[in-house]
Amino acid sequence: LMAAEARAEDGSEAVRLMTMHASKGLEFDTVFITGCEDGLIPFRRDESGGVEDEEVRLFYVGLTRAKRRLFLCRAFRRKRFGFTELAAPSPF
């Protein structure tokens, strides 16, 4: 793993896949955030509708990692827990 990180930092172009938690303090020219769907990003823990402040802050961290381009992606339909459901866009 360390060798792969060293190769990615030598100036060559590479794709880096990481969680938003792991991206804190880093910047990238282009950032893709997938799963921008209501209840998924920012994550909603229950059906009461409340989103925790920490989840909103974490989404903000992801948004601010991009220096030049930011792509927010979502699925039209998502299969979760064995059921296929329409995926509404995130209100954020």
Residue by residue, pLDDT tens for the chain (92 residues) are 445 455 555 566 788 889 888 988 899 999 999 989 888 887 776 666 566 788 888 889 999 999 999 999 999 998 888 899 888 888 88
Give 12: exposed, middle or buried? Use CB within 10 Å, 0-12, 13-18, 19+: exposed
Specify the residue for token string 């998502």.
Answer: 78
Q: What is the pLDDT of residue 2?
A: 47
Q: What is the pTM of this model?
A: 0.73
DSSP-derived 3-state class of residue 89: strand
Q: What is the pLDDT of residue 10?
A: 58
